[in-house]
Amino acid sequence: MRLSVIGCGYVGLVTGACLAEAGHQVVCTDIDSERIAKLNAGGVPIYELHLSQILKSARAAGKISYTANGGEAIRASDAIFICVGTPPKENGEADLSAIDHCARQIAAEANGPKLVIEKSTVPARTGIELTRALAAYGRNDQIKFRVASNPEFLREGTAVEDFFHPDRIVVGVEDPSAAEDLREIYRPIIERRFTCPVHNGTCPPGPRGELLVTTINSAELIKHASNSFLALKISYANVIADLCERIGADVEEVTRAMGLDPRIGGQFLKAGLGFGGFCFPKDVQAFIHLAASVGVDFDILKAAERVNKERIGRYTEKIRKALWVVKGKRVAVLGLAFKANTDDIRFAPALEVIRELLAEGAEVHATDPEAIPRTQAVFPQLHYHDDPYAALKHADAALVCTEWDAFKKIDWERAGKLMARKLVIDGRNLYSPESMRALGFQYHCFGRP
Ligand code: UDX
């Protein structure tokens, strides 16, 4: 099928690249012509595991192309994926102006019937508004638009793997033919008719992702309900960690045992600095706002959000307690990205921590395998090091803010010899307290004795 993708951000590029790799013909467009120029020159504007490899192979196979001319992309396809940003407004509500702009452009440029698929995360009822907007903006009554919602469940860092091995593919439609078209689009994925770029053709056995057909409203709700539930789970684990600290229990032991109950599940129970990124914080806010707008008070979600915001304060409290005076201290911040395997620093807990440290007059030496360039644009005054050991040299404390594998592998015996003081304040519970203490470190973490 001929597909187009509007919006070459992380979701758009992963969607476009994976569908092209699965055999479709894909045209990608973006209002940012520099981004398109970069893609046309073979560049990849974001870091995502396997993405540059599949963009390269899809391009070599003539399956993917890029144009800054939105009309051209719209006319070239039967189905259009809207993958534009829906950032939060001041009051937490999602800003849907980019979706509205797409509707206007599609209605104006379409030369025939189109299936318009919302991939961007949007509040429930956006599909209804989108259908109305396409009809209102259209100049030709003969051209029919069908709208569908197909939320993404892609985690940054494993987005390509998630796309090829989905737990579920949700398609929200009002028209059965739209469901059939989407089934066709996803057929290579469902039937595993692709060469997996992640496992090089030897994918581990596992259940195939099920395609669920729902109404558009349900599909939109599924996305927010899923992300908010995961955020809730993380905040729950964080409160358990606080309790463990007061009571003298070990949060890792508690959550591990909890997670063995299949009704609970072990994932997203990792206590620490809390959740960041461009999805969870904004989705939680948007969901609270949506609920309030229809008269439903989502108190438990508000509590999850509050608990998450308080994580930073709890962490800096630990830093202050351990360092006594923060002013003038040299600290090594290990990890800037909001989580491992991404260069994304949006709503990253590390950045909040750094903001506080700078306000208190600390000298910050930061390291991250991927996120240094992006952070430099926000905090030009920090000292940056590609090598974690260089960041740790002469440091009064090591502050672990992101769960990168590279940090799990740090040789603390070696690092201890470089540091001014053997102090680690671990915001991600990466190390064993016993081993760190055996190496002579003063070690602080979340919810473990
Ligand atoms: C999320 C959803 O997982 C994905 O399905 C959705 O489509 C987009 O939003 P992502 O934002 O990439 O994906 O990050 P995710 O891996 O879900 O982690 C979110 C945050 O929670 C990170 O900051 C992570 O460090 C934190 N986290 C995660 C915890 O603090 N504890 C955990 O147990 C798990």
Percentage of the chain beyond pLDDT 70 is: 100
Identify the pLDDT of residue 208: 83
Residue pair 98/132 in contact by the 8 Å Cβ criterion: no
Atom 28, ligand 1: which residue's CA is nearest? 268
Mean pLDDT of 100-106: 97
- For the CA of 403, the closest atom of ligand 1 is 25
Identify the pLDDT of residue 1: 86
Q: 184-236 pLDDT, tens per residue?
A: 999 999 998 888 889 987 888 888 889 999 999 999 999 999 999 999 999 99
Produce one character per residue of 278-295: b if its CB has 16 or more CB atoms within 10 Å, e if not.
Answer: bbbbbbbbbbbbbbeeee
Beta strands in 288-356 (DSSP E): 330-334
pTM for the whole structure = 0.93
- For the CA of 274, the closest atom of ligand 1 is 30
Q: 265-297 pLDDT, tens per residue?
A: 999 999 999 999 999 999 999 999 999 999 999
Identify the pLDDT of residue 47: 86
Identify the pLDDT of residue 205: 84
Residue 187 carries which side chain, given as an amino acid letter? R
Alpha-carbon radius of gyration of the chain = 23
Produce one character per residue of 249-267: b if its CB has 16 or more CB atoms within 10 Å, e if not.
Answer: bebbebbeebbeeeeeeee
Q: What whole-number distance in Å separates Cα of residue 385 and Cα of residue 295? A: 50
Q: What whole-number distance in Å separates Cα of residue 278 and Cα of residue 11? A: 12
C-alpha 155 to ligand 1 mean position (Å): 7
Identify the pLDDT of residue 112: 95
Beta-carbon count within 10 A of 429 CB: 20
Mean pLDDT of 297-303: 97
pLDDT at 239 over 80: yes
Q: 33-58 pLDDT, tens per residue?
A: 999 999 999 999 988 999 999 999 99
Mean pLDDT of 401-425: 98
The active-site residue, picked from 8, 18, 83, 279, is 279
Identify the pLDDT of residue 236: 98
Q: What whole-number distance in Å separates Cα of residue 167 and Cα of residue 332? A: 38
> Quick one: how far is CA 67 from the chain centroid?
26
Residue 279 is a catalytic residue: yes
Q: Which residues line ligand 1 (CB under 6 A)?
A: 152-156, 227, 230, 234, 268-270, 272, 274-277, 279-280, 338-339
Q: 120-166 pLDDT, tens per residue?
A: 999 989 999 999 999 999 988 889 999 999 999 999 989 999 999 99
C-alpha 324 to ligand 1 mean position (Å): 33
Q: What is the mean pLDDT of the chain?
A: 96
